[in-house]
Amino acid sequence: MSAVDYAERIPNNVNLSNDKRLQRALEHWLPAYLDWWNSVGPQVFQNNEVYLRTAISTEPGGWANFGYVRMPEYRWGIFLTDPEPDRVIPGGDHAGKPVWQEVPGEYRNALKRIIVVQADTEPASVEQQRYLASTAPSLYDARNLFQVNVEEGRHLWAMVYLLHAYFGRDGRDEADELLARRAGDADKPRILDAFNQPCTDWLTFHCFTCFTDRDGKYQLGSLAESAFDPLSRTCRFMLTEEAHHLFVGESGLERIIRRSAQLLRDAPNGDARAVGGIDLPTVQKYINYWFSYSLDLFGAEVSTNAADYFASGLKGRWREAKDFTEHSALNQTRAITHVQSGKLVDVDVPLRNAMNELLRSDYADDCARVVERWNKALEDEGLDSRITLPSTRFHRRQGIYSDSHFTPEGELISAEEWERRKDEWIPSDSDREYVQSLMKPVLEPGKFANYIAPPRRGIHGQTVEFEYVRTDG
């Protein structure tokens, strides 16, 4: 079932042509999608040839094709990984029973909501990033941005397929709504807060792809463990593409950090800004900001919804089927630090109610490994400064810490102290202005803006000097 016919209007590996009603419904959604892409997708280079990978199958190793494509002609196929024979529900009350191929009536609304919330993030990030290419630090970076954008578009297709195929009329309505909301719009914003934040500079873009796309990795990972098999198979394929988005963010930040260290060697008074770099304290503040915003996406620390989703099998823990032997998560607890009468106190919470927190700590551990690799780069460059990951309590706007204030180390502080010191920890207006002042396009192949080091390698065996975006039209 892995072969994909690109001559079809909607390329897919789900035998769409066997279901004429569904095919017609999706063909009806297609022009609305293209309108959306043309109006709030990338605002420059839409008609230039870009060196992009296109998914052509779900076979490991051979799933993508690389070549020049104009973005509006990129083919957004629908892909589900091949079914795993005899797959059983990995966790919760129904663990061990056969997975569902249809949506059970009692879980219909919850499942639809889960899919809509995930789906909403896909077009949101494209909208947030739509002006970035006009200040690309290189053609290589512009290409990476566009790769992320076209794939987020494909992820939207993947989720809309589920809504159309399994949720009837209200699924179709939800699919239409996905194109009606807009990132940052006052009247019709995207569902989650991080997806309404502006993304107008490349430091933000790399933080976003490193930290917020990584949230996506963990959300998709928990949905890949779903009892609803079509959702699991959709998410498994999305995760293969997501790995590149994370690479873009992690390596992009590493190149900014490395460049900052290199510039410092010749900088008067140890000030990287004096020589046009982004100084490490500023990079650290952006990391603090985006890490904390991304933590909010995991939901409340103690949550009955999360317990219900786990119990019913709609979501699983990260690598539920592979890494756990006990799949009920009953009669177990997890200690979660609460704020009680001005003190931090550990409270034991039933494990099922702590599922959001569990996933959030898997995510935070992953982020900590990324920070270690950046610090290795600083060490290589002979610098003593290090990047740190703030406490998961720091700068939270959702959950049990959102009513209190914390230092990046996680110490409880007063609202006055927060006000007085917050510019040390998260980007101030003047930091943002400074970063924005560096955003000038560099569009000559092989050349890079001063604040970012070139990558060590190009994309898919091409050189760093390769013309990743054809600027002559």
DSSP codes, 236-258: HHHHHHHHHHHHHHHHHHHHHHH
Which is nearer to Fe ion, 100 or 205 (by Cβ)? 205
Sign of CA dihedral 126, 128, 134, 135: negative
Site track for Fe ion across 181-200, x = CB under 5 A: --------------------
C-beta contacts of 93-96 below 8 A and 24+ residues apart: 93/311, 93/312, 93/313, 93/328, 94/227, 94/312, 94/313, 95/313, 95/327, 95/328, 96/327
Distance CA 85, CA 151 (A): 28
Q: What is the CA radius of gyration of the chain?
A: 23
Which is nearer to Fe ion, 23 or 121 (by Cβ)? 121
Q: Measuring CA to CA, how many Å separate 30 from each of 107, 292, 332?
A: 28, 36, 47
CB of residue 121 to Fe ion, shortest distance in Å: 7
CB of residue 217 to Fe ion, shortest distance in Å: 8
Which is nearer to Fe ion, 239 or 344 (by Cβ)? 239
SS3 52: strand
Q: Which stretch binds Fe ion (CB under 5 A): 151-159, 173-181, 186-194, 268-276?
A: 151-159
Helices (H), 265-382: 280-296, 304-312, 320-323, 355-380
Q: Which of 115, 96, 112, 375 is nearest to 219 (CA)?
A: 115
The answer to whether the CB of 124 falls within 8 A of the CB of 183 is yes
Of 141, 174, 213, 301, the one binding Fe ion (CB under 5 A) is 213
Which is nearer to Fe ion, 200 or 212 (by Cβ)? 212
Residues 234-273 that bind Fe ion (CB under 5 A): 242, 245
Residue 202 host element (H or E): helix 202-207
CB of residue 343 to Fe ion, shortest distance in Å: 39
CB of residue 148 to Fe ion, shortest distance in Å: 6
Site track for Fe ion across 363-402, x = CB under 5 A: ----------------------------------------
CB of residue 96 to Fe ion, shortest distance in Å: 31
**Cβ atoms within 10 A of the Cβ of 107, count?**
18
Residue given tokens 């053609």 in the structure block: 139
Which is nearer to Fe ion, 155 or 405 (by Cβ)? 155
CB of residue 468 to Fe ion, shortest distance in Å: 19
Which is nearer to Fe ion, 150 or 287 (by Cβ)? 150
Q: Which stretch binds Fe ion (CB under 5 A): 137-145, 154-162, 299-307, 374-382?
A: 154-162
Which is nearer to Fe ion, 217 or 255 (by Cβ)? 217
Q: Angle 442-453-276 (CA atoms, 0-180°, nearest 5)?
A: 70
Residues 115-134 that bind Fe ion (CB under 5 A): 122
Residue given tokens 């589920």 in the structure block: 162
CB of residue 389 to Fe ion, shortest distance in Å: 21
Residue 262 host element (H or E): helix 229-264
Q: Which stretch binds Fe ion (CB under 5 A): 66-74, 207-215, 295-303, 334-342?
A: 207-215
Residues 6+ apart with CB under 8 A from 127: 40, 182, 183, 184, 190
The number of residues that bind Fe ion (CB under 5 A) is 6
Which is nearer to Fe ion, 122 or 431 (by Cβ)? 122
SS3 298: coil
Which is nearer to Fe ion, 88 or 117 (by Cβ)? 117
- DSSP secondary structure code for residue 196 in this structure: G
CB of residue 158 to Fe ion, shortest distance in Å: 9
Of 143, 155, 164, 405, the one binding Fe ion (CB under 5 A) is 155
Q: Which stretch binds Fe ion (CB under 5 A): 24-32, 94-102, 211-219, 349-357?
A: 211-219
Q: Which chain residues interact with Fe ion by CB under 5 A?
A: 122, 152, 155, 213, 242, 245
